[in-house]
Structure 1
Amino acid sequence: MLTDSEKIRNIKTVRIRRALLVASACWLAICALLLVVERQTGMILLIKLGVYFRQTDLYFLMGAICVAWIIWGLICAWRRAIRKVSKFAIVLAWVMVILGSLVGMFAELFERAGSSYYEFSSPNGKHTLVAEESTFLLGGSMNFYERNNLLFIGRQFASIPIDVSSSGSYSVYWQNDVVTFVGCTYDHAHQRVVSIDFDSGKQLENYEFSSVGSSVDIQGTDENIQGTDDNLAQQNNQITKGLVAIAHHFGSGKAEEKDITYTAKGVPKLVLNKDAKQITYVLYDRESANEKCALYVVYKEELAASDAEPQIVDMLAYEYSTEKVISSGKRDWADAGSLAYCTAIGE
């Protein structure tokens, strides 16, 4: 026969258990809702509360809640178990739960310790770039997202590899709706450049170049960083101007910068002519050795033949100072260019 105090204690225990069960169900519903939102819209929870609170953290806490309920169930089962076989099975389940919990906890700690987040807002406050830096052992990656609101990020624009020794070595600059990220990779021997257009939601550029021997250190002073940003912005502007100038040179007088697209490797491309049989387009190649011209290659490709290789129509240079387009007359990489072309590019 239970005393009144024991009855009251049991009632309180039942109420607490029910409250915890309801709270657990609510937490599970929140996690399920976030999963549906991610699947349907691509948005991921990322809240800054002193430190960043991620969607995966909610999933980890949900797992911890499930483990707690499993442990409580095993305790109740142990109290009611009579046979040795039942007790052995409970002990085995207990060991598996503990091992699984330890593995999950260490995995979460390693993942949390290797992740850092940085946010960069455009000068007009219209866009915010979220950079996620993930490192593990000697490697890692940098992922780029757009912040939709205070709770969610969405639209992963790009992902680039980074070197752990170069972690945090980067600079960011904005030009209207376009943001350009410059980061070091491979022990500062190379620099990775990623440009993203928030207005169109496209990754414009993603390329890497050697920085060995360069006088610019993006880890240096603010003046050096600003100098790197200005140079990159000027170079990007010259590349697009050269594409449009070449289009006009080939008779595409209506071509504009907005018509420029990018290949899967992030190379600027502009279509000059296209019909049912073939397409003619120009691709940016590189900057000339004397840094006075941007070099381009015009290709013609047969659309009907899927295995046909694009044919080189011409290789051209866009001279920065005069804004002139100079034809090389080359239809193969091994060909010798015209005198005017070789003189302009310093080769």
Structure 2
Amino acid sequence: MMLVWKCIQNPIVHTVMFTLVFSLATLIILPPSPISASSPSVSALFAFGDSTVDSGMNNDLMPFVRCDHPPYGRDLPEHGPTGRYSNGKIATDFMASNLGLKDLLPAYLDPKLTDYDLLTGVSFASGTCGLDDLTLELSHVYSMGDQLEYFDEAVVRMKISVGEKKGREIVENALFVVSVGANDLMLNVYEFPLTERKTQFTSTDQYSDFLLQRLGSFIQGLYSRGARRFMVAGLPPIGCLPLQRTLSSIINLRPQRLCVTQQNIDCQTYNSKLQALLSSLQTTLPLPSSRLVYFDIYNPIMDMYNNPDKYGFVHIHEGCCGTGMFELGPLCTEFSRTCPDASKYLFWDAVHPTEAAFFVIADYAHKTVLQYLS
């Protein structure tokens, strides 16, 4: 890994190693009937994964994986950074609000978090996290295993607060959102093809199988802890992210910043396999109250990209922060030029959607998926 590090000369690529992510939206891949009206409503929302659903877990980590600085969060109610990788709310905030739980889903490590807040859900997600341990060696953020340990700790706190029986019921009736995987492909396949994964796996397809096996184990780990309702996000169109378009333009020495077709194909292949995995898990985790739903973010984001007028977007090729072509995390700062109206942009920085785009994703989820889970 030191050899790979020393070979990195491009400052843009150097930054990519430590930041990135995304994902979210919705599409049902399973044919379960909606939960009956007599079933309990969603008691809480717990989020796991990467920066798409991170509300501020990274705020005490190294600077290159943090976004708890301006201009991030400028359009939140308090107009300040919280550790969310956007200008305002993210999809899980809107979901929590749509479910009648709370206006903002806090991070578990938020110093202001109370035991009462914990009862209706938190995010354990950590920006730049992945399913692959090698991704964690690059980013040094909270792993999926770390997030499970924090969840165990949270469950103990809840049971102390409301009792064993009530605490167990909160978990069983909660919605578990999992969004992870994009960083693994970006860091270990697209940005740094010299990593050991390129020698271990002969194709991106094989590497995706490796990632999905780990994702399946994580879901089973949550299930063994009492989780019963899952919304699992697929990958976004990685090849159309502003950062990937910029890097492709540099690598291929071309002035046009085009979507990277092969990367998008890889994401579609991964998403198809994820749907098959969830179908398989649904049969092996057969309790009547269990639901595993695929959360499609690929198609909603591509629809916003291909039909921006439909959503009020004017800018889809670059983010609002800086040039919009490569800035994110530590490169998107209070000294960066930012657009006056982020609602006209699909992307806030070179990777992450704006609050307006997250709203579209969450609204689509509310209309199509949540009825099967709440």
TM-score by length of 1: 0.24
Of structures 1 and 2, the one scoring higher in RCO (CA 8 A, sep 6+) is 2
Structure with the higher helix share, 1 or 2: 2
TM-score by length of 2: 0.23
Which has more radius of gyration? 1
